[in-house]
Amino acid sequence: MKTIEEIKKIANQGPFEANWKTLNHFEIPRWFKKAKFGIFIHWGLYSIPAFNNEWYSRNMYRENSEEYHHHIQTYGQHTEFGYKEFIPQFTAEKFDAKEWIQLFKEAGATYFFPVAEHHDGFQMYQSELSNYNAVQMGPHRDILQELKEAGEKEGLVFCTSSHRAEHWFFMGHGKEFPSDVVEPMKKGDFYWPAQPEPDNQALQSTPYPTAEFLEDWLLRTVEIIDRYQPKVLYFDWWIQHESFKEYLQILAAYYYNCGYVWQEEVAICYKHDALMFGSGIVEIERGKFSNAQPFYWQSDTAIARNSWCYTETLDYKDVKEILYDLIEVVSKNGNLLLNVGPKGDGSIAEKDQILLKKIGEWLKINGEAIYDSKVWRKSGEGPTQLVSGQFQENQPVSYTPEDIRFTVSGESIYAFLMAPAAGGKVLIKSLATSKNQDVPEFHGLIKEVKLLGAFDDVQWEITDEGLVIILPEIIDELPKVCKITIV
């Protein structure tokens, strides 16, 4: 295990140094910009109670919350059955890394992000910094290593995430009434440090994390980097707090210098301007941009609206909504990271499997318009416009037959018909070549138009209003893709 001094030395010996000036030399990995679609995995102790969402460990200690009352009614008083009592129940008897990876591959994913440590502090990997990890307790298996090996064997790029930062306060409510969250605590204990929760997410909120906690955060993250060599690291919220800035620069420089030694392109995904812009990949949680961006980014969302982990009350999206998300993100210069929450026993719920397989079926037909594609000169046309920003998924977006999104790859422009009308006429105004326009949007010569997955040729013609396409009979309501080949 490296010391803080050794980490700082490596962070300042290479192409990068622990400052924003050199970290701004970061470049988005080429493989990442081609990959387009990945799988996020929230699985841990919180999957055992499977109640409400993955914040069970925090909320069960908040008096009068749903989780608080549910916990007492189901498991008993917090002094007798605390969160740590879920560890012996977390045996992962049905976990099979190969089966997971096969499913993700069938879904069309090209990379994946299992959560290494969530806010609850239980590590899903082998660790020298705490005994509270999946190798020494619970499953007695190195979950992260099994997934990495299975994924890489099938050609999926291994990435991982750390949500450790929030652990500073995540168990703090347990000190407000008799529970198993009691003093004294020391570094390495499961609930440590269990500080009072800030009233808000202010960048300078107090109590200010101590150097001991921040160094522990750095050591834990470096341990993941050294042991598992992920191609991308993802950090959840609260590392944007002022206290993390120095440590984030050290960590980023360390990781990027390791990538240079490994001869691998690596990256950090971050939210809320935790990193200086240009030193990592911008992450948008449960949201998108309304227009194509000049920088590359990633949107992370979940199969369900109301939780990232498996629960008995998931509000599932349908496959059409997920495909809309994928198309909107890719057409606007980003990747989609779709979360799946396995059950506590390690199996993946049947509904999740059905949705993933349907996504994969669509991608087998239309994947050439997604993978390795680039944005066109405009992301789309039509009346439906998204609202830029996070947490914009309360209601699914409704599209019209006039809503079209674009990508480009090779010699073709791909037009995604978001709500195609069976046997109807499609007008793509962005491909008009009218002489009446002062600045035509399109000057190319169209050689051929095909509807991906259709057996019959489509009828099409160029008019002053745009490219007109007559669609054949359509058997479902999923988005369709027209491949428009240019001479």
- 276-318 pLDDT, tens digit per residue, is 999 999 999 999 999 999 999 999 999 999 999 999 999 999 9
4-369 belongs to which CATH class?
alpha beta
Rg (the chain; Cα; Å):
24
pLDDT digits (tens, 9 = 90+) for 313-348: 999 999 999 999 999 999 999 999 999 999 999 999
* Segment 239-242 long-range contacts (CB within 8 Å, at least 24 positions apart): 239/165, 239/270, 239/274, 240/201, 240/203, 240/270, 240/271, 240/272, 240/273, 240/274, 241/165, 241/203, 241/204, 241/205, 241/209, 242/203, 242/204
Strand partners, 409: 412
pLDDT digits (tens, 9 = 90+) for 217-229: 999 999 999 999 9
Write the CA distances from 335 to 16, 28, 291, 322, 415, integer angstroms. 26, 12, 14, 13, 18
Report d(CA 343, CA 134) in Å as an integer. 16
What pairing do the DSSP bridges indicate for beta strands 232-235 and 267-270? parallel
Strand partners, 158: 112
pLDDT digits (tens, 9 = 90+) for 415-469: 999 999 877 899 999 998 765 556 667 888 999 999 999 888 899 999 888 999 9
Strand partners, 480: 417
User: Can you read off the two tokens belonging to residue 442?
Assistant: 């399109």
Domain borders along the chain are 4-369, 380-486
Taking phi first (over 0 means left), then psi (-120 to 50 degrees means alpha), and beta for anything else, what does residue 272 get? left
User: Can you read off the two tokens belonging to residue 22?
Assistant: 């050199």
Q: Which of 456, 458, 430 is nearest to 444 (CA)?
A: 430
- Under the banding of pLDDT at 50, 70 and 90, the label for residue 474 is confident
- Which pLDDT belongs to residue 436? 57
User: Can you read off the two tokens belonging to residue 249?
Assistant: 């620069």
380-486 belongs to which CATH class?
mainly beta
Contact status, residue 7 vs residue 254, Cβ threshold 8 Å: yes
User: Can you read off the two tokens belonging to residue 448?
Assistant: 């051929």
Q: What is the mean pLDDT of residues 70-98?
A: 98
Q: Flag whether the pTM goes above 0.95.
A: yes
- Which pLDDT belongs to residue 439? 61
